[in-house]
Amino acid sequence: MANSARGGTPTGTGGLNPGDDAKPGTPGSGENTCPACGGSGRVENAPCQECGGTGVVTEGIGGG
Ligand SMILES: [Zn+2]
Protein backbone atom coordinates (compact mmCIF):
# COMPACT_ATOMS: atom_id res chain seq x y z
CA MET A 1 0.00 0.00 0.00
CA ALA A 2 2.17 2.76 -1.21
CA ASN A 3 0.16 5.55 -2.57
CA SER A 4 2.74 8.17 -3.24
CA ALA A 5 1.07 9.54 -6.31
CA ARG A 6 -1.63 11.91 -5.34
CA GLY A 7 -3.24 14.55 -7.45
CA GLY A 8 -2.01 15.55 -10.83
CA THR A 9 -3.45 14.30 -14.04
CA PRO A 10 -1.33 12.38 -16.52
CA THR A 11 -2.64 13.93 -19.68
CA GLY A 12 -5.14 16.41 -18.42
CA THR A 13 -8.02 14.25 -19.49
CA GLY A 14 -9.20 13.96 -15.93
CA GLY A 15 -11.27 16.45 -14.10
CA LEU A 16 -14.53 16.04 -12.36
CA ASN A 17 -17.62 17.93 -13.26
CA PRO A 18 -19.85 19.33 -10.54
CA GLY A 19 -22.37 16.62 -11.34
CA ASP A 20 -19.85 13.85 -11.09
CA ASP A 21 -19.93 11.74 -8.00
CA ALA A 22 -16.95 9.63 -8.85
CA LYS A 23 -13.96 9.68 -11.09
CA PRO A 24 -14.50 8.17 -14.52
CA GLY A 25 -13.32 4.59 -14.48
CA THR A 26 -13.80 4.23 -10.78
CA PRO A 27 -14.94 0.70 -9.91
CA GLY A 28 -18.50 0.74 -8.74
CA SER A 29 -19.34 3.86 -10.65
CA GLY A 30 -21.10 4.43 -13.89
CA GLU A 31 -22.26 7.07 -16.21
CA ASN A 32 -25.77 8.37 -15.97
CA THR A 33 -27.63 10.85 -18.04
CA CYS A 34 -27.17 14.27 -16.58
CA PRO A 35 -30.40 15.20 -14.83
CA ALA A 36 -29.67 18.88 -15.22
CA CYS A 37 -29.60 18.94 -19.00
CA GLY A 38 -31.22 15.62 -19.76
CA GLY A 39 -28.20 14.42 -21.67
CA SER A 40 -28.09 17.27 -24.13
CA GLY A 41 -25.07 18.80 -22.49
CA ARG A 42 -26.57 22.21 -22.79
CA VAL A 43 -28.89 24.28 -20.71
CA GLU A 44 -30.47 27.29 -22.26
CA ASN A 45 -27.93 27.47 -25.05
CA ALA A 46 -25.10 27.31 -22.56
CA PRO A 47 -22.87 24.39 -21.67
CA CYS A 48 -24.33 22.47 -18.76
CA GLN A 49 -22.20 23.05 -15.75
CA GLU A 50 -23.30 19.90 -14.02
CA CYS A 51 -21.84 17.59 -16.59
CA GLY A 52 -19.46 20.00 -18.23
CA GLY A 53 -21.32 19.74 -21.48
CA THR A 54 -20.86 16.01 -21.80
CA GLY A 55 -24.48 15.17 -21.11
CA VAL A 56 -23.51 12.47 -18.68
CA VAL A 57 -22.39 12.42 -15.09
CA THR A 58 -20.41 9.74 -13.32
CA GLU A 59 -22.15 8.45 -10.27
CA GLY A 60 -21.42 5.74 -7.81
CA ILE A 61 -23.52 2.62 -7.96
CA GLY A 62 -24.92 1.18 -4.78
CA GLY A 63 -23.21 3.87 -2.78
CA GLY A 64 -24.66 5.76 0.08
ZN1 LIG B 1 -25.69 18.27 -17.92
**35-58 pLDDT, tens digit each:** 999 999 999 999 999 999 999 998
Q: What is the DSSP letter of 13?
A: -
* pLDDT of amino acid 11: 46
Q: Is 38 left (phi over 0), alpha (psi -120 to 50) or beta?
A: left
- Do strands 46-47 and 56-60 pair parallel, antiparallel, or not at all (unpaired)? unpaired
For residue 62, give the amino acid letter: G
Distance 24 CA to ligand 1 centre (A): 15
Distance 19 CA to ligand 1 centre (A): 8
Global pTM value: 0.58
Q: pLDDT confidence of 1, banded at 50, 70, 90?
A: low
CA 23, CA 13: separation in Å to the nearest integer? 11
* pLDDT of amino acid 27: 80
56's enclosing H/E stretch is strand 56-60
What's the mean pLDDT when you consider all of the chain?
A: 79
